[in-house]
Amino acid sequence: MTTYLVTGGGGFIGSHIVEALVKRGGRVKVLDNFSTGKKENLSKVSDQVEIVEGDIRNSPLCVQVMEGVEYVFHLAALHEVPRSVELPFETHEVNVTGIMNLLLAARDEGVKRFVYASSSAVYGNSPVLPRSEDMMLSPISSPYAVSKLAGEYYCQLFSHLYGLETVSLRYFNIYGPRQDSASDYAGVIPKFIFALLSNKAPTIYGDGEQTRDFVYIADCVSATIAACFKPGLSGDVLNIGTAQRTSVNQLCMHLQKILQREISPRFGPPQPGDIRHDYADIEKAQNLLSYQPSWDIDRGLAETAAWYRERG
């Protein structure tokens, strides 16, 4: 029986990957300290997975939980850009020391493949669009961006030096059901939905003309699972996006229409570390993973908004 480990499996993206792996069959372990993830995110499969509550900064725990694992999906991270600006050392410890602990444990256990959730933040504020994997990187916008690129380099090192197969996925803006709306650092989509459902004005930071590549969670999961099993990818880095971009102002208008709320947004100062424009060239993922996003922004937002509305 195939054994998987999902770090950060109680989080937004991680819990969706856990559910997909359970459907495939096999044994699934989850390692999460639940500082941002939620046990309720795993409620549908909690009786079918092994949940280990702990921190990836704990090296002996990483060794222990890696026992018998064949495939690793590394989602655990401090992923909020503003928080990383406030807490750069903690971000380094979790995102860099944490991945080193896991890579060492995976190497020593003979793991078949290690899939790492990186981020489009590694491109920084480069004016070059769309973002392609071979362009010059400039992750100086935030400690989060630097930590994610360090993780990529360590994955490539372990692939080339130690023979551990690794794949790094540069996620663009993933959204969908279960994304946290309560945190101060929550993503823009759940924040907008929560505000509009509460009949409050959503807050747009900056002028709202900044653009993002919004990827629905189902497309993210399919790409991530494919990256685990597609042969010949060791050491590769791939963008996971849609090759489309939407401004924050457009996003707000989409949600106003979906939720039938004519509430004008209010505008605040730009957030520290915010990137102006961002969208993906996905040709490499299309060629190597047969990846093709199937959820457009209207359909994805409608599904996401319905999930939040059903839960009050």
**Pairing between β-strand 203-205 and β-strand 113-119 as defined by DSSP bridges:** unpaired
261 vs 155: CA distance, rounded Å: 45
Q: What is the pLDDT averaged over residues 141-162? A: 97
- In this predicted structure, what is the pLDDT of residue 181? 74
Catalytic residue among 144, 175, 279, 308: 144
Q: Tens digits of per-residue pLDDT, 248-276?
A: 999 999 999 999 999 999 999 998 878 89
Q: Please check the confidence at residue 185 and state whether its pLDDT lies above 60.
A: no
- The CA–CA distances, whole Å, from 118 to 4, 6, 18, 74 equal 19, 15, 18, 9
Q: Rounded distance, CA 87 to CA 67, Å?
A: 32
Average pLDDT of the residues of the chain: 95
Q: Tell me, what's the pLDDT at 104? A: 98
pLDDT, residue 306, reads: 96
- pLDDT given for residue 273 in this prediction: 77
pLDDT band, residue 140 (cuts 50/70/90): confident
Quick one: average pLDDT of 226-231?
97
What is the arithmetic mean of pLDDT over 36-59? 97
Residue 186 has pLDDT above 80, yes or no: no
pLDDT at 92 over 90: yes
Tokens matching residue 288: 């190597």
Whether 144 sits among the annotated catalytic residues: the reply is yes
pLDDT band at 184 (very low <50, low <70, confident <90, very high): low
Residue with tokens 């795993």: 42
pLDDT at position 171: 98
User: Residue 123: pLDDT above 80?
Assistant: yes
Mean predicted confidence (pLDDT) in 209-223: 97
Domains and CATH numbers, the chain: 3-174+216-243+283-289 (3.40.50.720), 176-212+244-278+295-310 (3.90.25.10)
Residue 150: what pLDDT?
Answer: 98
